[in-house]
Amino acid sequence: MFWKIVGIVALVWLAFIVVGALIKGLFPILVISAVVFGLYLLYKAMSGSDAKDMTRMP
């Protein structure tokens, strides 16, 4: 029973290490992509291309 508990604790610890490494590695990519997407939305809002398309409707 003791070794079963030690194995479960070691498995949970290993899972935390893997998840922590993934978050640490992917967080900068997430931040950069959010900034780029925000800039794209800002560009689309400022360009007003949707308003020009609406005037051509029959």
CA dihedral 43, 44, 47, 49 (to 10 degrees): 160
Query: pLDDT-derived band of residue 16, with 50, 70 and 90 as boundaries?
Result: very high
Distance CA 58, CA 40 (A): 29
pLDDT per position as a tens digit, 17-58: 999 999 999 999 999 999 999 999 999 888 875 555 555 555
pLDDT of residue 47: 85
pLDDT of residue 51: 53
Helix then strand then coil, % of the chain, to nearest 5 = 90, 0, 10
pLDDT of residue 7: 94
**pTM (2 decimals)?**
0.53
Q: DSSP assignment of 10-52, as one string?
A: HHHHHHHHHHHHHHHHHHHHHHHHHHHHHHHHHHHHHH-HHHH
